[in-house]
């Protein structure tokens, strides 16, 4: 071994570690409230049935029919896990089926927002 120290200065502390990732799936809406550093709290979306989709400059609550693809990870596509950037098939209140891309971070924001694809 050459050129300097190869060991870490110290182990990672508990406050430096991230939280456990919540993998949002399809299903009845369930949210999880977690405590974060500094005394605040965060709402994580565990599962969702509806998404807020922007159609013609208006937010509309649409029912999620399924996940088309998740470019973040092909394993997420297989397991129907929703993250930012995932493409969903949604049903508008008029009964039309459209594709929408997720713009929020459901595992961190606690909401499922999307735009027309």
**pLDDT-based confidence at residue 11 (cuts at 50, 70, 90):** confident
Asked whether residue 107 is domain-assigned, the answer is yes
Check pLDDT > 60 for residue 24. Answer: yes
Q: What is the pTM of this model?
A: 0.83
The CATH number of the domain holding residue 66 is 3.10.290.70
Sequential DSSP letters for the chain: --SS--S-SSPPPGGGSPPPPP-BEESS-EEEEEE-TTS-EEEEEEEESEEEEEETTEEEEEEEEEEEE-TT-HHHHHHT-B-TT-EEEEE-TTS-EEEEEE-S-HHHHS--EEEE-
The token pair at 11 is: 């182990």
Residues of the domain holding 45: 19-116
pLDDT tens, position by position, 97-114: 999 999 999 999 999 999
Q: How many angstroms separate the CA atoms of 66 and 98, rounded? A: 11
The token pair at 57 is: 């400059």
Cβ of 36: how many Cβ atoms within 10 Å? 9
Check pLDDT > 60 for residue 1. Answer: no
Confidence at residue 82, expressed as pLDDT on a 0 to 100 scale: 97
pLDDT tens, position by position, 53-76: 999 899 999 999 999 999 999 999
Asked whether residue 101 is domain-assigned, the answer is yes
Asked whether residue 5 is domain-assigned, the answer is no
**In total, how many domains does the chain have?**
1
């Amino acid at each position: 071994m050459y050129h300097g120290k190869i060991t870490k200065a110290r182990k990672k502390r508990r406050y430096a570690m991230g939280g456990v990732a919540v993998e949002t799936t399809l299903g009845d809406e369930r949210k999880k409230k977690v405590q974060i550093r500094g005394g605040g709290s965060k709402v994580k979306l565990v599962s969702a049935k509806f998404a807020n989709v922007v159609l013609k400059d208006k937010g509309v609550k649409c029912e999620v029919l399924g996940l088309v693809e998740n470019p973040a990870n092909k394993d997420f596509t297989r397991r129907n896990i929703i993250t930012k950037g995932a493409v969903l098939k949604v049903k508008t209140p008029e009964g039309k089926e459209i594709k929408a891309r997720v713009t929020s971070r459901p595992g961190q924001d606690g909401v499922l927002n999307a735009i027309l694809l």
